[in-house]
Amino acid sequence: MSIKVIRPGMLSTVQDLGRYGMQKYGVIVSGAMDSFALRVANILVGNTEGEAALEITMIGSKLEFRENLLIAICGGNLSPTIDGHIIPQWRPVLVKKGCILSFGAVKSGCRVYLAISGGFDIPKIMDSQSTYLRAGIGGFHGRSLKEGDVLLVKAPSDLAVRRISCLFDRAGTNEVAASEWSVSQKIFPAYTLNPIIRAVRGGQFNWFTIESRKQFFEEEFLVTPQSDRMGYRLCGQQLQLSEPRELISEAVTAGTVQVPSGGNPIVLLADRQTIGGYPKIAQVATVDLPILAQVKPGDKVRFQEIQLEEAQELLQSRETVFQLLKQGVKLKESSFLGGFHCIELT
Amino acid sequence: MQMYPLGDSAIIVQFDNKITLDAHYKVRVLVDRLQGNSFKGMLEFVPALTTVTVYYNPLQLSYKEAYSALERIVSSLEATPMGAARTVEIPVCYGGEFGPDLEFVADHNGLTVDEVVQIHSGSEYLVYMIGFAPGFPYLGGMSENIQAPRRSSPRITIPAGTVGIAGMQTGIYPIETPGGWQLIGRTPEALFRPNESSPSLLQIGDIVRFRPILGKEYGVWKGRVK
């Protein structure tokens, strides 16, 4: 079982939930920028939540399916189509052999996750399938996808086999069939254009001038084109230390907002380095990292201060929603009404 | 010593606000302890120059709970100065295509090329921290007689294994990367070994010695290492 890359698009990489436990050796975490979308996509195709999926950035990817495969597309909306038919997101979709899935214009967000039932048949390096581009390890031969690559797919789980057979019956002569239910928008993170991102104070918050501290939580920042998976470089109010001070390099993590001497903050993300030496004015709440991951260059963000306890409570609530989602998907499966209701896409 | 949060899922333990041997030893004592006897919900730790950062799962532990668990460990530590973890010899082919800036470093310090090699390979270096890139060692102990400024314009790619000098620091690039250090040589040894259980050749607390080798030996070694 496999899919073939007809066109890789801007940046397409294999990512799972990241490579943990190796930061003490300087090995970065990597992983999906929007872990929420990745986890949901996997649940929908009957995979374990942390299975690797394709992270497709912005524009232009085109993939050929060489078997009947159950997929789910979650995250931003990059106009996925098959033969001109729009493919709905946030639900399981059966794609038949020979179909070509194309991503077009960016309608919302910045990156999308394509999970395939079974997951990709690629080796784990240091217990993760995530691509670490700089070191050339993990993912598909340690690199982003290129034209002509063939990605092998493992056999689907029993759960996925049942979904595939049900959707296959429904599809008839159509190339694609999707479940008629989808994940409720109510459980999504608040994906919006120019979002407000919640953050707690950073370790060196008090090093900054009172004005800069205020500006950080009040003003708008532009996400510049120099942003990538390593971090978002922001531009707006120049943030200043109240006196020149040097920080001794220490650990940084996803969502760390550090401020180099130029005064423009950088939010570190999935491919961040393990340690950094710039003062940290804030730390994005983990619960809001998926929202930030869907912000693209040219968009704007604002930060809203919350307390550490609140950040942890929000994360707990998100996890409860996840458990409900998993149960909900299971119920759909076993419903006496025949379980999987399907719509054909014509 | 103080402890403060790094966001909602990590705590930084800071032993000092300047880089000292004492802080380095404390970092290593805590790392030793965390390796063998961590607390439930702890995920991983990252030792640095004066700090150890401990990541925990916020779904299992609140900040307060993680703080107390970690505080119990930190407060029971015995501050015994630690000896070297081990001594690791790194073979280096100095100069030529592997070390295009060796002559610059010599000129800058009014030394001959041989003297620079002698001084660089005649010292012992302590690994204070691994980070920035996988397996990249922060080495302490370079002689100020061979210091050199960073290049005014950084190179776009520096091959893996290249040994460089920047200011009072010396180090080895484990993977190909851009960089502005003065390049004096290259080792055939792989500092980053992604397929081994400990992917970094060096670890915090190791003593490093550089051993000069000839180009011929470099080739043989490299052929063996892969």
Count of residues making up chain B: 226
Q: Does A336 score more than 70 pLDDT?
A: no
pLDDT per residue over A205-262, tens digit each? 999 999 999 999 999 999 999 999 999 999 999 999 999 998 999 999 999 999 999 9
Per-residue b or e along B52-74, where b marks 16 or more CB atoms closer than 10 Å to that residue's CB: bbbbbebeebbbeebbebbeebb
pLDDT value of residue A205: 98
Q: Is A299 within 8 Å of A227 (Cβ atoms)?
A: no
Residue A147 in contact with partner chain B when CB distance is under 8 A? no
Give the distance from residue B112's alpha carbon to the nearest chain A alpha carbon, in angstroms: 34
The verdict on a CB contact (< 8 Å) between B7 and A285 is yes
d(CA B107, CA A109) in angstroms, rounded, equals: 54
Nearest CA in chain A to B2: A203
Residue A2 in contact with partner chain B when CB distance is under 8 A? no
Q: Which residues of A touch B59 (CB under 8 A)?
A: 315-316, 319
Least reliable range by pLDDT among A26-35, A118-127, A183-192, A298-307: A183-192
Closest by CA to A33, choosing from A225, A187, A229, is A229
Residue B114 phi, psi dihedral angles, 5° rounding: -60, -40
pLDDT value of residue A344: 55
DSSP code per residue over A255-305? TEEE--TTS--EEE-TT--SEE-S-EEEEE-GGGHHHHHT--TT-EEEEEE
* Bridge-based pairing state of the strands B137-140 and A266-268: unpaired
DSSP state of A72: E
Q: Which residues of A touch B46 (CB under 8 A)?
A: 23-24, 251, 274-275
d(CA B90, CA B211) in angstroms, rounded, equals: 6
Count of A-B CB contacts under 8 Å: 136
R_g of chain B computed on alpha carbons: 20
Q: Mean pLDDT across chain A, nearest whole number?
A: 93
pLDDT value of residue B217: 86
The verdict on a CB contact (< 8 Å) between A283 and B46 is no
The verdict on a CB contact (< 8 Å) between B46 and A274 is yes
pLDDT value of residue A343: 54
Instruction: Tell how far CA B110 is from the center of its chain.
Output: 28
Q: Is A216 within 8 Å of A265 (Cβ atoms)?
A: yes
Q: Give me the residues paired with residue A140 across strands.
A: A143
pLDDT value of residue A334: 67
Q: Does A33 score more than 80 pLDDT?
A: yes
pLDDT value of residue B38: 87
pLDDT value of residue A162: 87
pLDDT value of residue A337: 45
Q: Out of B18, B19, B48, whose CB is closest to A251? A: B48
pLDDT value of residue A346: 42
Residue B200 in contact with partner chain A when CB distance is under 8 A? yes
pLDDT per residue over A166-179, tens digit each? 888 888 888 899 88
Give the distance from residue A13's alpha carbon to the nearest chain B alpha carbon, in angstroms: 19
Residue A197 in contact with partner chain B when CB distance is under 8 A? no
The count of other CB atoms within 10 Å of the CB of residue B197 is 6
Residue B129 in contact with partner chain A when CB distance is under 8 A? yes
pLDDT per residue over A61-102, tens digit each? 999 999 999 999 999 999 999 988 899 999 999 999 999 999
Q: Which residues of A touch B10 (CB under 8 A)?
A: 251, 253
Q: Out of A137, A275, A308, whose CB is closest to B132? A: A275
The verdict on a CB contact (< 8 Å) between A283 and B7 is yes
| Reported confidence tier of residue A185, pLDDT bands at 50, 70, 90 | confident
Instruction: Please report, in tens digits, the pLDDT of each residue of chain B (226 residues total).
Output: 999 999 999 999 999 999 999 999 999 999 999 987 789 999 999 999 999 999 999 999 999 999 999 999 999 888 777 777 899 999 999 999 999 999 999 999 999 999 999 999 999 999 999 998 899 999 999 999 999 999 988 899 999 999 999 999 999 999 998 889 999 999 999 999 999 989 999 999 999 999 999 988 888 888 766 5
* Bridge-based pairing state of the strands A280-284 and A256-258: antiparallel
Give the distance from residue B136's alpha carbon to the nearest chain A alpha carbon, in angstroms: 7
Residue B67 in contact with partner chain A when CB distance is under 8 A? no
pLDDT value of residue A342: 56
d(CA B161, CA B175) in angstroms, rounded, equals: 7
pLDDT value of residue A340: 56
The verdict on a CB contact (< 8 Å) between B175 and A274 is no
The verdict on a CB contact (< 8 Å) between B134 and A252 is no
The verdict on a CB contact (< 8 Å) between A312 and B8 is yes
pLDDT per residue over A281-322, tens digit each? 999 999 999 999 999 999 999 999 999 999 999 999 999 998
The verdict on a CB contact (< 8 Å) between A256 and B6 is yes
